[in-house]
Structure 1
Amino acid sequence: MDIPLGTGTIDVSFPDCEVTVAEPPGGDPVDVRTAAERALEDPLGPPLESRVDPDDDVAIVVTDVTRTVPDDVLLDALLERLAACGLERDRVTVVIGLGLHRPMTDDEIEAMLGEHADLAVNHDPESVVEMGSVAGDVPVEIGAPVAEADTVLSTGVVEPHQYAGFSGGAKTVVIGAGSESIIRYTHGPKMLARDGVRLGRVEGNPFRETIDEAGDLAGVDFSLNLTHGPAGVLGVRAGDGRRIVRELAAVARNALSVPIDRTYDAVVCGVGAPKDANLYQATRGATYVALGDRNPLRDGGRLVVPAELPEGAGDGTGEKRFYRRLSEAGDARSLYEEMREGYEPGAQRAFVVARVLRNHDLYVTNSEAPEIVDGCLMHAAADVEDALEAGSEVLVVPDALNTLLIEA
């Protein structure tokens, strides 16, 4: 059986194991450029032409290297539309929404944005402008190139997200081009413990509601988002961020949901590039499975994530905080209780991982950084077979980040 690893796959065999594969329906793929043009022609809400004047300075916030999005295609479609509105290309700044991830290199930006790489700058979370506040006193601070623009646009992907239910919409700007203040609040233990903050849920999700409110303050005028599944891109929508997220989330749920009616000894969670570049991102495969609508593991069952980890734990501020918390902890239960009192922005992934590790062992296989894995309360194994016990009942989720396990 082929499981994702980096940009390729590995052939995994399961001797002496009973194996079930969680394969979502997948949906029908669309041509990204054609679908983007149609979405811009028929937006959800006022058209782009009503949002921009020829003499505006425009900021377009795009996702970074940790997301699988054809930003070059979406950006090209937006720029063509802006040109038709009479806007000169040199009035556009493309801001890469890093959040607290590491800055992208020039080569990475060129590979991602192609001929439009010259317009791009990395978001600087230290150079921000306060736009207002949410939840009474939580400042919404946005990167200066975005805050000072006359018109703010965004691209992005509506995909399952551990906290927001689904990503996309205002999140690309508020988190990607925001500061530690909003990340500290939205990713803090009090928010993550609230009812409704759950993978795959948009309605009644306090995290999503906060992000949308912050997006209003940040002045997000218009978005162009897509959703994808195993078959490829499944849909593209443009216009109002709230409506985009809800429409594309419905498309994604239909394509990605797999009913589960039993429990298993182990779950193999496929991740692949770009998420398996570092441990911070790769652990999403495990937490999406164990903390989704339906945890398919028996108590004490194990999670297995094949991941290359060429960047180790990760090089960004958030990734370093994640690594420090896990590597300095004695055990998962103590770490979880300690972090319930609070933590630095970016360390929330350590909190979520610790929550899972209280009940399940996590094995990371096929990596270039086994010593980092072993030092973070997890287990390194040479390959998937070494991480499984003979006779185990195993659920294989080839694309754990794009599969929603639900109650049968």
Structure 2
Amino acid sequence: MDIPLGTGTIDVSLPDCEVTVARPAGGTPVDVRAAAERALEEPIGPPLADRVDPDDAIAIVVTDITRKAPDDVLLDVLLERLESVGVAREQVTVVVGLGLHRPMTDDEIVEMLGPHADLAVNHDPESVVDVGAVGPDGDVPVEIGEPVAAADAVLSTGVVETHQYAGFSGGAKTVVIGTGSESIIRYTHGPEMLAREGVRLGRVAGNPFRETIDAAGDLAGVDFSINLSYGPAGVLGVRAGDGRRVVRELAAVARDALSVPIDREYDAVVCGVGAPKDANLYQATRGATYVALGDRNPLREGGRLVVPAALPEGAGDGTGEKRFYRRLSGATDADSLYEAMREGYEPGAQRAFVVARVLREHDLYVTNSEAPDIVEECLMHAASDVSDAVEPGSDVLVVPDALNTLLVDG
């Protein structure tokens, strides 16, 4: 069977094992441009023309290279619609929502945004404006990048995909986290929030993480979102308008397409990731945590997770990735790391926290990578191939697209 690795695939053969493949229904793909144009014609809530004025300075926040999104198409359609209501191209700044990821290079921005790359700037987390506060006590500052805070209208693109904490990403998250400061990331990704009931993969309603992000988006002035959802077949839908409702509608589309019922336990799960998420260890470990910490953990006690990942960037070069690496590489075991991090950690290090949570119960093997030494330094195991990471005779579940599959009770 073929499993993603980088921009290609590898052929995985486990002849001595009993293998089950988890393949979601997949849904029906749509043409992105046509669906985006239709979404703008039939928005959820007031149309874009009612949300912007012809003389407005516009900020459009787009996802960065760690998200698989046709931002060039969404941006093209959005700019055409803005022009039709009297907003000139020169009035628009495109802000790349990095969060604590590394800045994108000029070449990467050109590759991502094509003819609109000249409008783009990377988010600078050191140059932010306080726009209010959230949290139960109203003491968590919401700080937004200066180009966004200074804009008369804030728009966003994004992907409504399964997310470990937000349930599904998209909506205000692109702006609040992508162009936010460490304060909101520290709060939303801290141990207290991540331990709360309802903060889990695939859940939007009653999710405190999602609710906090949406409230922060109101303070940031997010006026209009155009998002899409993915499935194995490709892009499944595009919606535009009010961010909360856009996320809810696309999450329902994604859930129908991505759910796979599980009615037994397995010795090992092979978690496919592929580009762009397998560029570094920080992102690639999502494959393992999405499986083990989702709605239904398919592993029996002591079972192992196997993630093929190219890792051309090693652990990762951004602030968050470096903090992730320092935490894991500096630990002696998963139990002590998890307990220490329950007392708090730096924004970005939350991925080390959830990985440690998984490693307390399961071994994690990363195979086929360019950085096996880094994998071994981070409390995980490196193997040259998937077959080397799975014991003969194992009962194996293969999830070819672990980031776009929801394992649920059968």
The TM-score, its normalising length taken from structure 2, stands at 0.99
SS at match of 1:152: strand
SS at match of 1:157: coil
- Where has structure 1 moved over 3 Å in runs of 4 or more? none
Shift of 1:157: 0.3
Alignment match, 1:380? 382
SS at match of 2:26: coil
Alignment match, 1:337? 339
Q: Deviations over 1:291-322 (max 9, x none)?
A: 00000001110000000000000000000000
Structure 1: how far apart are the matches of 2:71 and 2:263?
A: 38
Alignment match, 1:304? 306
Listed as ranges, the gaps of 5+ residues in structure 1 are none
Alignment match, 2:32? 32
Structure 2: how far apart are the matches of 1:285 and 1:45?
A: 35
Structure 2: how far apart are the matches of 1:228 and 1:343?
A: 32
Structure 2: how far apart are the matches of 1:237 and 1:266?
A: 37
Alignment match, 1:205? 207
Alignment match, 2:102? 102
SS at match of 2:157: strand
Q: Deviations over 1:158-190 (max 9, x none)?
A: 000000000000000000000000000000000
SS at match of 2:283: helix
Structure 1: how far apart are the matches of 2:208 and 2:248?
A: 15
Alignment match, 1:230? 232
Structure 2: how far apart are the matches of 1:204 and 1:151?
A: 29
The TM-score, its normalising length taken from structure 1, stands at 1.00
The equivalences for 1:136-285 within 5 A come to: 136-285=138-287
Shift of 1:54: 1.0
Shift of 1:15: 2.0
- Which amino acid in 1 is paired with 2:355? V
Alignment match, 2:112? 112
Structure 2: how far apart are the matches of 1:168 and 1:194?
A: 21
Structure 1: how far apart are the matches of 2:318 and 2:221?
A: 27
- Which amino acid in 1 is paired with 2:376? D
- Which amino acid in 2 is paired with 1:224? I
SS at match of 1:191: helix
- Which amino acid in 2 is paired with 1:34? A
Structure 2: how far apart are the matches of 1:120 and 1:91?
A: 12
Alignment: residue pair count: 408
Alignment match, 1:326? 328
Q: Deviations over 1:193-248 (max 9, x none)?
A: 00000000000000000000000000000000000100000000000000000000
SS at match of 2:158: strand
- Which amino acid in 1 is paired with 2:246? I
Q: Deviations over 1:128-147 (max 9, x none)?
A: 00000001100000000000
Structure 2: how far apart are the matches of 1:284 and 1:67?
A: 13
CA RMSD of aligned residues (A): 0.3
Alignment match, 1:286? 288
SS at match of 1:298: strand
Structure 2: how far apart are the matches of 1:25 and 1:15?
A: 26
Q: Deviations over 1:262-284 (max 9, x none)?
A: 00000000000000000000000
Shift of 1:393: 0.3
SS at match of 1:221: strand
- Which amino acid in 2 is paired with 1:350? A
Task: Calculate percent identity across the aligned residue pairs.
Answer: 85
Alignment match, 1:72? 72
Structure 1: how far apart are the matches of 2:102 and 2:302?
A: 35
